[in-house]
């Protein structure tokens, strides 16, 4: 279907001698967005799926309220896989997939796309690994609806639409020193510069382990963090969906010998190919049951590595959470929009400290609904954004979170306009939450680096200009 449409588009472009670029990308690619909530945070950006059937709240600023401040903590946009995942995928494709006999594949239920001459594996080599996807480096060029570049430009447009009253003449934008994070910040800034007269000052904060709390990535300096927390719970999870998937594909495909870990890689192939090409035929391989188990498996491991199940994650996340509260209490006078770009795990750390998806109950190895509050795929897809809005209505001030374009209420505090939280009640909430976690420097054994975040307030004198890195910390 995809290739037929794509071929038709190309033929049409040639016939009319008009450039392919003028064709609307959405005509070329079938919509796979219903899969995004299952792709373990590697899916392109999508709204937090409260959906139209749930208690979906209007994200407009309530009538008769005036914006006072906005904060944005955002993930980089859609990207290619990391070196680790990407090189494994290239190996899998080279050693097992590309060796299958074309003749045998023609009628294959799962892999017949491989014989379509229009299909091209999205990683012809490893030169794009770790990078943001752009119109330039996407395998389908401008036909990719989901490039990280496009998502960041769109986010910038939407930001201007809603928050132009807070943008001012000069605005710093903070980014960690990873290249894809920086590229996202630059693309976001391009939209601000295009639609307003603002002069943007990009400040680059090092991801190095020497920065302590004064960064967008405080986990990088936390020597006590370990990803083995909860390992017994994760290991006890029944992962036979992977060996069953491998068996199903192997049985249907002459010469194929996928292992369980190869089967696991297919989900990454699906997700990252959508990031890089706008569409992936591999995604059609999975049953819905497999997608649910894959997503839950990832929620479980993320809960214990970067979420509330990890012993030092709340102290790590308290750095950005505390800075966010301090911005409300003691805002720098020269600007009113506080914007920082970082990685998914740093946002997960912050959300754990905030307590949005934290019931206090530890996740266990059994998939069941009461165990599914923590949906990582929904919290931090590519391009995820945690937005805090502060507005005045009448004589009072209110705070509201908008996560991935949905209002998610402050726990136990949502009786203000637009389901917001009155600011003094919000301060009570943050104080209780912060009082209940060990201080970052103590929990992380940070002794000779900053214990608090200061860049929002001191960037003009410090001028943060860390060199960029391809790989994340
Ligand atoms: C690309 O692959 C080559 C050969 O396997 C390897 O030496 C190199 O480190 C890889 N580069 C990246 C960016 O992963
Ligand atoms: C930008 O500045 C120009 C020149 O002062 C002005 O005409 C224009 O309206 C401004 N645009 C915006 C969006 O403020
Ligand atoms: C293997 O494939 C055959 C023929 O396609 C089918 O009849 C059989 O049910 C399959 N077995 C499994 C375990 O999927
Ligand atoms: C498939 O691979 C496994 C190890 O990865 C090996 O033990 C087995 O013999 C292989 N089966 C076939 C049919 O190639
Ligand atoms: C929050 O930040 C302020 C200002 O940096 C600092 O004085 C305070 O100790 C911090 N509180 C916590 C709980 O980290
Ligand atoms: C797993 O957690 C859920 C939700 O908290 C709970 O209802 C269930 O009893 C737990 N199962 C086990 C085996 O502990
Ligand atoms: C609220 O503000 C109005 C003026 O905007 C003032 O007349 C009124 O007394 C204030 N009410 C309270 C309770 O402070
Ligand atoms: C919300 O309120 C309930 C009832 O007072 C309490 O049990 C719960 O701990 C509160 N939740 C949070 C996150 O403060
Ligand atoms: C404080 O943390 C403990 C341990 O994580 C938890 O049991 C308790 O509910 C928390 N209290 C509040 C007010 O969040
Ligand atoms: C804390 O760091 C110091 C060095 O900076 C080290 O000597 C000490 O063992 C560390 N303590 C813990 C509990 O990791
Ligand atoms: C900040 O650093 C940049 C890059 O090194 C430099 O171009 C700029 O002039 C510096 N600004 C200040 C105020 O020092």
| CA 401 to centroid of ligand 7, rounded, Å | 27
Check if 76 is active-site: yes
User: Three-state secondary structure along 317-329?
Assistant: HHHHHHHHHHHHH
Does any ligand 4 atom lie closer than 6 A to the CB of residue 257? yes
Taking residues 141-153, what's their average pLDDT?
96
Q: pLDDT over 90 for what percent of the chain? A: 91
Mutation pick for ligand 5 pocket among 432, 434, 452 (CB with most ligand atoms within 8 Å): 452
**Ligand nearest to the Cα of 236, by number:** 6
Q: pLDDT tens digits, residue range 445-456?
A: 999 999 999 999
Determine the Cα–Cα distance for residues 339 and 265; give it in Å rounded to an integer. Answer: 34
Q: pLDDT tens digits, residue range 383-432?
A: 999 999 999 999 999 999 999 999 999 999 999 999 999 999 999 999 99
Q: pLDDT tens digits, residue range 214-234?
A: 999 999 999 999 999 999 999
Taking residues 272-279, what's their average pLDDT?
97
Residue nearest to atom 11 of ligand 1 (CA): 126
**Ligand nearest to the Cα of 244, by number:** 3
Taking residues 159-171, what's their average pLDDT?
98
Phi/psi-derived region of residue 206, left when phi > 0, alpha when psi is between -120 and 50, beta in every other case: beta
Mutation pick for ligand 11 pocket among 455, 463, 468 (CB with most ligand atoms within 8 Å): 463
| CA 371 to centroid of ligand 6, rounded, Å | 7
Catalytic residue among 229, 344, 346, 425: 344
Neighbour count for residue 119 (Cβ, 10 Å): 15
Determine the Cα–Cα distance for residues 183 and 208; give it in Å rounded to an integer. Answer: 18
pLDDT at residue 2 greater than cutoff 50? no
Residue nearest to atom 6 of ligand 10 (CA): 445
pLDDT on residue 19: 33
Phi/psi-derived region of residue 141, left when phi > 0, alpha when psi is between -120 and 50, beta in every other case: left
Structural domains in the chain? Answer: 1-30 (no CATH), 31-462 (3.40.50.1240)
Phi/psi at 123 (nearest 5 deg)?
Answer: -120, 75
Determine the Cα–Cα distance for residues 126 and 141; give it in Å rounded to an integer. Answer: 17
pLDDT on residue 4: 35
Q: pLDDT tens digits, residue range 56-94?
A: 899 999 999 999 999 999 999 999 999 999 999 999 999
Angle at 268 between CA 264 and CA 269, to 5 degrees: 105
Distances (CA, A) of 37 to 148, 295, 352, 407: 18, 8, 20, 18
Does any ligand 10 atom lie closer than 6 A to the CB of residue 226? no
Q: pLDDT tens digits, residue range 315-345?
A: 999 999 999 999 999 999 999 999 999 999 9
Mutation pick for ligand 10 pocket among 445, 446, 447, 451 (CB with most ligand atoms within 8 Å): 445
Q: Name beta bridge partners: 393.
A: 65, 396
Phi/psi at 49 (nearest 5 deg)?
Answer: -80, 65
Check if 358 is active-site: no
């Amino acid at each position: 279907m995809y290739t037929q449409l794509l071929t038709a588009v190309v033929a049409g472009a040639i016939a009319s001698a008009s450039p392919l670029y003028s064709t609307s990308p959405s005509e070329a690619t079938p919509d796979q967005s219903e899969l995004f909530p299952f792709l373990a945070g590697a899916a392109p950006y999508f709204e937090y799926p409260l959906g139209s059937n749930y208690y979906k709240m209007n994200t407009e600023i309530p009538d008769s309220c005036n914006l006072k401040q906005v904060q944005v903590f955002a993930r980089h946009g859609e990207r290619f896989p990391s070196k680790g995942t990407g090189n494994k995928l290239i190996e899998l494709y080279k050693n097992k997939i590309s060796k299958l006999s074309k003749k045998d594949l023609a009628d294959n239920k799962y892999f017949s796309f491989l014989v379509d001459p229009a299909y091209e594996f999205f990683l012809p080599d490893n030169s794009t690994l770790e990078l943001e996807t752009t119109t330039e480096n996407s395998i389908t060029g401008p036909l990719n609806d989901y490039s990280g570049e496009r998502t960041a430009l769109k986010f910038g447009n939407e930001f201007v639409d809603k928050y132009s009253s807070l943008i001012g003449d000069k605005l710093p934008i903070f980014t960690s020193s990873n290249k894809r994070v920086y590229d996202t910040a630059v693309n976001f800034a391009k939209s601000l510069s295009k639609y307003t007269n603002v002069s943007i000052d990009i400040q680059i904060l090092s991801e190095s382990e020497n920065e302590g709390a004064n960064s967008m990535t405080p986990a990088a300096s936390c020597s006590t963090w370990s990803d083995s927390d909860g390992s017994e719970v994760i290991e006890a999870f029944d992962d036979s969906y992977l060996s069953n998937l491998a068996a199903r594909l192997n049985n249907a495909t002459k010469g194929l010998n996928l292992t369980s870990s190869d089967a696991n890689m297919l989900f990454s192939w699906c997700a990252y190919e959508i990031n890089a090409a706008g569409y992936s035929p591999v995604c059609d391989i999975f049953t819905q049951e497999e997608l649910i188990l894959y997503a839950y498996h990832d929620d479980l491991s993320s809960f214990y590595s970067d979420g509330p199940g990890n012993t030092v994650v709340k102290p790590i996340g308290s750095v950005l959470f505390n800075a966010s509260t301090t911005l409300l209490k003691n805002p720098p006078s020269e600007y009113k929009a506080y914007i920082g770009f970082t990685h998914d795990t740093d946002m997960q750390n912050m959300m754990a400290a905030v307590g949005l998806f934290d019931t206090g109950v530890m996740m266990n190895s059994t998939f069941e609904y009461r165990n599914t509050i923590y949906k990582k795929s929904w919290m931090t897809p590519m391009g995820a954004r945690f937005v805090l809005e502060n507005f005045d209505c009448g004589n009072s001030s209110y705070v509201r979170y908008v996560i991935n374009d949905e209002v998610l209420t402050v726990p136990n505090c949502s009786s203000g306009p637009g389901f917001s939280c009155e600011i003094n009640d919000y301060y009570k909430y943050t104080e209780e939450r912060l009082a209940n976690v060990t201080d970052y420097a103590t929990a992380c054994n940070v002794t000779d680096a900053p214990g608090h975040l200061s860049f929002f307030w001191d960037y003009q004198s410090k001028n943060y200009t860390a060199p960029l890195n391809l790989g994340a910390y």
